[in-house]
Amino acid sequence: MSTFTLLALTAAASAAVLELPVHIQDTYSSVEFEVGTPAKPYRFMFDTGSTTSWVTGRNCTDTSCPKITTFVRTPYNESDSSTSVNLDQYSSIPYIDGDILAGYVFSDVFSDDKETLSWNQTFMAAEESSWRWITADGFLGLGFSSIAENKTTSLVETLLWEDKLDESRFALFYGTNLKNTGVQDGVLTIGGSHEDVYVDGEVAYMPLRVETPYELWRAPLRSVSILAARENQTVIVNNGKLPSINAPANTYPKANTTWSMYGEGTAVFDTGAGRISIPSSMANAFYYYLGWNLTKLYNGEERMECEHMNSTWAISFTFGETADESNDVTFSIRGDEIFAPGEQCMPPVDDSGESTFSLLGTDFLKRHYSVFDFGGNRVENYQPRIGFGKLKEEYDYLK
């Protein structure tokens, strides 16, 4: 047997899949890793909208790292770990919502709670953080390492480049219970996916927007649509395709409008963001077609009640970049799918502040089984795509 074959078999034998239980508290979703020697457990809020992972550091104070949550954070102290390495790099991360994070870069041993894998991971130990509300010790960045802070790489790509993962992907199921209490069964899978378990039908995939290098899970947005049915009719969501209405023949919907992006649109899928945001040019019209005035909603002159979040309307996002639109895919979310029972109902869609940009956060993602696929285990081989599948009824938290 050749040396090459032996090496290939060794790499294949060492490849693994991490199955990380999702912990949800106060709407924030996190997973747990063991860090350091001896190991200590840390909760990381997973965020596809950033790359460098971080934990609260020993130099955080009530002033520099304010906290308004009952979650008890565990500060990282490099002196307590025999495997900690200070990489002599200070960095700061500005986030899109105005939050900021600053601290020093370290490397230390990480493992999952089942000890499936153990590896050296770079991250920041924060000494300044405005993330006062999160119910976690820090962030797990799941973006691409091209936008990572100096001397850091993303956790997934660290494992990917060291050939430690079974597949070059990670996948997310938020769970059937999104509340603080009760049994939670969500899972973040790193190195594989389980669409056979969770998905009703097939996962519909779309390639990311072609970029050099890739930075975020950003797809080319062809158009945004609003479909509103008439009274006593229901919008039917079709995964990967435009929605339809269960209406008699020759019956027209209340509204059926599409706004084209004319090749300029993009959408970022961000587990670290809660809301759905659409381009500024569409926000007012979106509410108009539902019978509302956005300015009056913001000013409190009108109020959306939970009864208005119903099955008579849906917003859809169509993705595609080539002249051939036959391969486009569309993903929709219906009015009654945005908020779970017991949650506060509010205007469901925000203005992104940009003319061609949409942000699809957890309000969208929790309704699907999501697969984030790098399409290769080295940067030069990446063919990234993202896919969504309709949840089977037994895994749908609204059923």
Q: Which CATH class is domain 3-190?
A: mainly beta
Q: What pLDDT sits at residue 77?
A: 98
Collapsed DSSP state (helix, strand, coil) of residue 125: strand
- pLDDT tens-digit profile of 138-177? 999 999 999 999 999 999 999 999 999 999 999 999 999 9
Q: What is the CA radius of gyration of the chain?
A: 22
Residue 52 has pLDDT above 80, yes or no: yes
Answer whether 3-190 and 195-395 agree in fold: yes
Q: CB of 158 within 8 A of CB of 377? A: no
pLDDT at 382: 98
User: What letter represents residue 115's amino acid?
Assistant: E
% the chain with pLDDT above 70:
96
CATH superfamily of 195-395: Acid Proteases (2.40.70.10)
- Scored b (16 or more CB within 10 A) or e, 250-281 reads eeebbbeeebebeeebbbbbbbbbbbbbbbee
Alpha-carbon gap, residue 230 to 248, rounded angstroms: 11
Instruction: Transcribe 182-218 into DSSP letters.
Output: S----EEEES---HHHHBSS--EEEEPPP-SS--SSE
The model's pTM is: 0.94
Assess whether pLDDT exceeds 60 at residue 369: yes
In the chain, % of residues over pLDDT 90:
87
**Residue 87: CA count within 13 A, CB half-sphere:** 20
User: What pairing do the DSSP bridges indicate for beta strands 276-278 and 349-351?
Assistant: parallel
Report residue 7's pLDDT band, with 50, 70 and 90 as the boundaries: very low
Q: Which residues of 83-92 are buried (b: 16+ CB within 10 A; e: fewer)?
A: ebeeeeeebe
Return mean pLDDT, the chain. 94
Instruction: Check residue 364 and report its DSSP letter.
Output: H
pLDDT tens, position by position, 59-93: 999 999 999 999 999 999 999 999 999 999 999 99
Mean pLDDT of 120-137: 97
**Do 47 and 271 contact (CB within 8 A), yes or no?**
yes
Residues forming the active site:
47, 270
Whether 373 has a pLDDT exceeding 60, the answer reads yes
Per-residue pLDDT tens digits for 137-148: 999 999 999 999
Domain ranges of the chain: 3-190, 195-395
- Position 14 confidence tier, pLDDT thresholds 50, 70, 90: low
Which tokens hold the place of 192? 């594989």
